[in-house]
Amino acid sequence: MSILFDSEKKIFKLDTAGSSYVIRVDKNGFLLHLYYGAKIPDVNLPDFEKRCRYASFSATTPEADGDYWSGFTPDTWPFEVGCNGCADMRTASLQIRNADGNAATDVRYVSHQIYAGKPGIPGLPALFANEESDCETLEILTRDETTGAEVTLVYTVFEKLSAMTRSLIVANASEKAFEIERVMSFCMDMNSCDYDLISLYGRHMKERDFARRPLSHGVQGVYSRRGSSSHAQNPFIALIGRGGNEEYGEAYGFNLVYSCNFSAIVDVDYNNSSRVMMGINPDDFGWTLQPGERFYTPEAVLVYSDAGLGGMSRTFHRLYNRHLVRGEWAHKKRPLLVNNWEGTGMDFDDEKLLAIAAWAKETGLEMFVMDDGWFGKRDDDTNSLGDWVVNEKKLRGGIGSLISRVKALGLKFGIWYEPEMISPDSDIYRAHPDWCVHVPDRARSLGRHQCVMDMTRADVRDYLFNIMSEVLANNDIDYLKWDFNRNITEAGSALLPTEKQKEFYHRFILGTYELMDRITKAYPHLLLEGCSGGGGRFDPGILYYAPQSWCSDNTDALSRIDIQFGTSLCYPASMQGAHVSASRRTSYETKRNVAMWGTFGYELDPAKISEEDRAVIKTQIADYHQYYDLIHYGDLYRLICPWDDPYRAAWAFVSEDKTEFMFTVVVKLYMEARNFFLKMKGLDPDKRYVCEETGEVFSGALLMNAGLSLFRYPNGDGESFALHFKEATTCK
């Protein structure tokens, strides 16, 4: 059993292979956080909850035990739920404004249950168990006796993976409505602030850049108010012990399975304790809960590693590959594709597309994807979003004719959609101007010349499902790229009553999830790829429906290194959409080496490719098939990180059984010739490995401890190389 309850001490202990999480119910029903870290056998943790108070301003409560200076006060003690307004003065994780108009909140333990497996979350994406034995779940019911709010804390432990998930269910068990103003998916009061905070920031074309800064007193963290998880900040943070790095130190990773406004903060108090929270951003949020109703929070994923950031990342990768990606494409090999966007933009017709498809077949690719520009009057980005009707001036004979010709070549066929967007210059906007997101008496801001569909509305979602189905149900389509090319402004819905307008953002993403769910269930063979101006919605919520997401619109190989390294802190290679394009800065060898770290594919115009490069691409396709399993499901080791070294980057994929690995080195900036030894990680020191390219044989011990001298390999700007090793069956 991974979850134990000591009824005498009233202690819950949640164990994984490498971590323990300990909670105590005190005599007054408070849920106190005692410990989260490396696995321990103990259940007895005396005084772990006690925190000193230093002034009369930390209020006592009727439950205080009488010792003024070290006795109980909600202002300092560690909680599993940080309630607002009842003597806990730190940033609250739960705030409910009751029928009396005040927001004082105080929940206490009532009961609990422990069971095998993992429940889903109604209306929301969440990790899942393939079998009941994969995980175990603890539900702790708490209650605010004054307001009748019942809050269930849900913990699921993935014992074999050193990971757990947390979420909340808020129920109104009273006879009056109340408003949830703040509800974080988890709250955890740690007993130290000796950590660095790591986050992933960026912008369009430069997503998920690495940021590291020491915790300091006060509130710090990341958030989004953009109506999506956003390019600006990813819903991921990590805490790593001071001095920790890729291989060493305690690392805590936190990721929110959500695609809309979020907040991830650390509040360090005067005791040097750190309150970590993650959930729906409370800005512009409120949810009215009527008697008998329930509210479900998004799920947060917690990972602990005592092997630094690398150990944390590899746990996330295994967890998501096994328990987030669903359906037919969870473990099925994905087709190698070419997308026409960077080759043609919207300037195409059926003959131009067919020429690309013919090249793809001759080269050895497996799927052709038709991007933006196939519908309405779409020759540029100023019109037609929402009018998902085939433009037969471009596709003569209709989309069915193009698909049948592509299929006759022996290729699969993919298509681009942007369902959540609407152009003011479109037939659907003229017919239903209230279908776009807007507020009364204010101008409707445009982004990329477009507005956003009101996904809170069932009639909008029904329209989108039906008009998309006219294409999907009547044609043999294998892949759908789902884009989202602007953030939300003037957030409001024509159908929501005044008192529910604060619910807009959450209802919006629930609507998107509902439509994605309908599409994937109606067309289970479809491979969905998420996209949002590249990586603007690269989060576990979207990846639950679309098992891969376009990593960035920036396909330049040298720029992609930073983006892919940052992304890999939390997300596996199998989820990172990465293509070879016609960017000018590097050779096709380097483009291949970088794009191979991902789902792999091509975005280019074959008419502009030299015969020499065409031949190179054919060898790359063979490499894709040879190394597919190793890269998609092997363990990633970041050997030289771009945030540590401005000149080189290096990474390796090692098979789980440690019988095979491949490492890649990219020179970002030339350095003068010098010795260069690179040490491998994650190998079996007792195995011997043969290099596929040179035939040389080395022990795992030598490769990890002494490393390889790479003096003779390419060292110029933008140059790169990759070496592949397998376990040697004979010694040399």
pLDDT given at position 169: 98
Residue 124 DSSP class: B
pLDDT given at position 673: 65
Q: How confident is the model at residue 675 (pLDDT cuts 50, 70, 90)?
A: confident
Phi, psi of 375 (to 5 degrees): -130, 165
Residue 318 and residue 324: Cα distance in Å, rounded? 10
On the 0-12 / 13-18 / 19+ scale of CB atoms within 10 A, 587 is: middle
Is the domain of 89 the same as that of 137? yes
Q: With 90 as the cut, is the pLDDT of residue 340 above it?
A: yes
pLDDT given at position 10: 97
Phi, psi of 185 (to 5 degrees): -70, -25
Task: Give the number of C-alpha atoms closer than 13 A to the C-alpha of residue 709, restricted to the C-beta side.
Answer: 5
Is the domain of 350 the same as that of 249? no
- Does a structural domain hold residue 501? no
Instruction: List Cβ neighbours of 371 (8 Å cut-off, separation of 6 or more).
Output: 339, 340, 341, 416, 481
- Does a structural domain hold residue 504? no
Closest CA to 640 of 678, 610, 608, 611: 678
Amino acid identity for residue 307 in this structure: A
Instruction: List Cβ neighbours of 108 (8 Å cut-off, separation of 6 or more).
Output: 28, 29, 30, 142, 143, 144, 145
Residue 493 and residue 460: Cα distance in Å, rounded? 12
- Does a structural domain hold residue 36? yes
Mean pLDDT, residues 12-35: 96
Contact 659, 634 (CB under 8 A): no
| Domain containing residue 594: CATH number | 3.20.20.70
Looking at 275, 295, 323, the residue that finishes a domain is 323
Task: Kindly calculate the radius of gyration of the chain based on its CA atoms and give it in whole angstroms.
Answer: 27
Residue 58 and residue 338: Cα distance in Å, rounded? 63
- Does a structural domain hold residue 495? no
Is the domain of 316 the same as that of 342? no
Element (DSSP H or E) covering residue 606 = none
Give the model confidence (pLDDT) of 220-265 as tens digits: 999 999 999 999 999 999 999 999 999 999 999 999 999 999 999 9
Closest CA to 402 of 350, 352, 367: 350
Looking at 615, 632, 649, the residue that finishes a domain is 632
Q: Quick one: what percent of the chain has pLDDT higher than 70? A: 98
Q: What share of the chain is helix, strand, coil (3-state, %, to 5)?
A: 20, 30, 45
pLDDT given at position 55: 65
Q: With 60 as the cut, is the pLDDT of residue 94 above it?
A: yes
Residue 704 and residue 618: Cα distance in Å, rounded? 33
Mean residue pLDDT across the chain: 95
| Domain containing residue 32: CATH number | 2.70.98.60
Closest CA to 97 of 174, 152, 32, 30: 174
Contact 633, 661 (CB under 8 A): no
DSSP result, 127-159: ---SSGGG-EEEEEEEE-TTT-EEEEEEEEEEG
Task: Provide the H-helix boundaries in 568-699.
Answer: 588-595, 611-633
Q: With 70 as the cut, is the pLDDT of residue 552 above it?
A: yes
Taking the whole predicted model, whether its pTM rises above 0.85 is answered as: yes
The end-to-end CA distance of the chain, in Å, is 47
Mean pLDDT, residues 342-362: 96
Give the model confidence (pLDDT) of 257-311 as tens digits: 999 999 999 999 999 999 999 999 999 999 999 999 999 999 999 999 999 999 9
| Domain containing residue 716: CATH number | 2.60.40.1180
Q: With 90 as the cut, is the pLDDT of residue 726 above it?
A: yes
What is the three-class DSSP state of 248?
coil
Is the domain of 300 the same as that of 174? yes
Is the domain of 610 the same as that of 596? yes
Closest CA to 694 of 725, 662, 658, 649: 725
| 412 token code pair | 């699969």
Residue 249 and residue 219: Cα distance in Å, rounded? 24
Is the domain of 154 the same as that of 281? yes
Is the domain of 607 the same as that of 668? no
Strands 412-417 and 367-370: parallel
Is the domain of 352 the same as that of 272? no
Give the model confidence (pLDDT) of 422-472 as tens digits: 999 999 999 999 999 999 999 999 999 999 999 999 999 999 999 999 999
Residue 503 and residue 727: Cα distance in Å, rounded? 56
Is the domain of 210 the same as that of 130? yes
Contact 606, 359 (CB under 8 A): yes
Phi, psi of 645 (to 5 degrees): -140, 115
pLDDT given at position 63: 64
Give the model confidence (pLDDT) of 29-78 as tens digits: 999 999 999 999 999 898 898 887 776 688 877 665 555 555 688 999 99
**664: domain range?**
637-727
Is the domain of 410 the same as that of 294? no
- Does a structural domain hold residue 620? yes
| 405 token code pair | 């010709």
- b (16+ CB within 10 A) / e for 459-482: ebbebbbebbeebbeebebbbbbb
Instruction: List Cβ neighbours of 219 (8 Å cut-off, separation of 6 or more).
Output: 91, 265, 266, 267, 268
Q: How many domains does the chain have?
A: 3
pLDDT given at position 67: 54
Give Cα 638 to chain centroid, integer Å: 19
Is the domain of 290 the same as that of 371? no
CA angle 415, 421, 424 (to 5 degrees): 120
Long-range contacts of the stretch 50-59 (C-beta < 8 A, 24+): 50/77, 51/76, 51/77, 51/78, 51/271, 51/273, 52/76, 52/271, 54/270, 58/87, 58/89, 59/87
Is the domain of 108 the same as that of 40? yes
Mean pLDDT, residues 182-192: 97
Looking at 598, 615, 632, the residue that finishes a domain is 632
Amino acid identity for residue 172 in this structure: N
Closest CA to 689 of 725, 647, 713: 725
- Does a structural domain hold residue 450? no
Instruction: List Cβ neighbours of 464 (8 Å cut-off, separation of 6 or more).
Output: 388, 419, 453, 515
Residues designated catalytic: 483, 553
Residue 573 DSSP class: G
Q: With 80 as the cut, is the pLDDT of residue 171 above it?
A: yes
Q: Could you tell me the CA-to-CA distances from 235 to 201, 283, 331, 530 in Å, in that order?
A: 10, 16, 25, 16
What is the three-class DSSP state of 90?
coil
Closest CA to 89 of 62, 56, 63: 56
Give the model confidence (pLDDT) of 626-669 as tens digits: 999 999 999 999 999 999 999 999 999 999 999 999 999 999 99
Residue 233 and residue 312: Cα distance in Å, rounded? 19
| 525 token code pair | 């063979």
Token pair 């509305």: residue: 457
Contact 254, 538 (CB under 8 A): no
- Does a structural domain hold residue 47? yes
- Does a structural domain hold residue 225? yes
